[in-house]
Amino acid sequence: MIFRAALLVGLTLLCPAALAQRTPRELAQALQQAARAGDAAAYRTLLAAGGTFTVEGVNFAADLARRTPTDVTYTFSDVRQEGARASANLTLAWTRVPEGKSRAEGQPSRVTLPVGLVRVGEVWRYAGEAFTPVKTGLGTLLALNVPGLPERVAPLAPLLPRAAQEVRNVLGLPVPEGAVVKVYPDSPRLSASVYLSLPPVAGWNEPGEAIKLVMPGGTPAEVEAATLRVLTHEFTHLAVGLAAGPGRDKRIPWWLHEGLANFAARAFVSERGWGAWQSRVNGYARSGWVPLTDLADFPNVPEARWDNAYRQGLGVVEFLAATRGKEGPWQLTRAFAETGEADVAARTAGFPSFAALETAARTWLAAR
């Protein structure tokens, strides 16, 4: 009796979802329950070890706690089981509420992703999206497993080493040889694989995760230019993280991360597009400039100020390159990674303080 009582107590301490997901349908219910509750810990227990979503899932789960999608639904369809594995289509439906808006102003969202499931003993777990490998000479290139996409992605393979070389040419930084690039057919599906609260984006990367990009449309030349632009941008994030060292890349402010990435992709932006970017930051320098300290930490920057981070960051990097030479932007970046102190980093770059650097950059941009 004592043993039985102890066993029952132990079972009640286990995650309820782990005891329930004996079918894919029950797994969907468990994922939905954890997501609606904003329970990041419970959500992580539902992920399969070694699945394509293993790393990204941690950040996805954290976002559930920050901005809980209380009405999200998870539905598996077309489930095809082979032994301890299964493929399925996962349909997510939820209301994305933009920052600063009420739920009544939310945007209905719905995506369907091909995914994998894994059974461990009698319990099913979520393994993330299903991909088709595409042969490439650098890293790993994966196409979301939807009809026709792998064939469209194949011509992108030669562009990976070109984008990596451009990062080396501009910043002198190597891109990790094991880089993983995942290609999605559209922005809604890509964004839903990152955070449910994320607005549609064309590319994404976080330290330790794969690069994600949307398959561009248009003529072959337009597809090539758009892919190279996004790849070079995202490869820059990887290269900066590698050069900064584990964990130290988080000391680098977000605006500087994005400024470097945009700067490195210059060769693949049209003259008209580049002029529009410069015009935007010049305008911010004259009116509407947001203090760089308010753009340093991505999770705490409101969506309405994301454009400031991208454009002002690019402007400061351009200013440093023009006034301190090719090494100027990386000199400041490296100092941030080493110390995490804005004033120390600014002095390393030749300014008496960070305030002085920001003032000089803004003055230069406003007069450009």
pLDDT higher than threshold 80 for residue 13? no
Query: In percent, how much of the chain has pLDDT > 70?
Result: 95
What does the alpha-carbon distance between residue 70 and residue 110 come to, in Å, rounded to a whole number?
14
SS3 49: coil
Q: What is the mean pLDDT of the chain?
A: 91
What pLDDT is recorded for position 51?
79
Q: Which residues contact 274 (CB under 8 A, 6 or more apart)?
A: 266
Q: What CATH code is assigned to 130-240?
A: 3.30.2010.30
Q: What CATH code is assigned to 14-129?
A: 3.10.450.50
pLDDT band at 28 (very low <50, low <70, confident <90, very high): very high
pLDDT band at 9 (very low <50, low <70, confident <90, very high): very low
pLDDT band at 257 (very low <50, low <70, confident <90, very high): very high
Domain locations in the chain as residue ranges: 14-129, 130-240, 245-368
SS3 300: helix
Q: Which two tokens stand for residue 167?
A: 């990062």
What does the alpha-carbon distance between residue 228 and residue 188 come to, in Å, rounded to a whole number?
21
Q: Which two tokens stand for residue 38?
A: 């904003």
SS3 336: helix
pLDDT digits (tens, 9 = 90+) for 161-196: 999 999 999 999 999 888 999 999 999 999 999 999
Chain center to CA of 148: 24
pLDDT digits (tens, 9 = 90+) for 298-347: 989 998 999 999 999 999 999 999 999 999 999 999 999 999 999 999 99
Sheet of 211-214, strands arranged across? 131-134, 140-144, 180-184, 211-214, 203-204
Q: What one-letter code names the amino acid at 159?
A: L
Q: Is the pTM of this model over 0.75?
A: yes
pLDDT band at 19 (very low <50, low <70, confident <90, very high): low
pLDDT digits (tens, 9 = 90+) for 276-292: 999 999 999 999 999 99
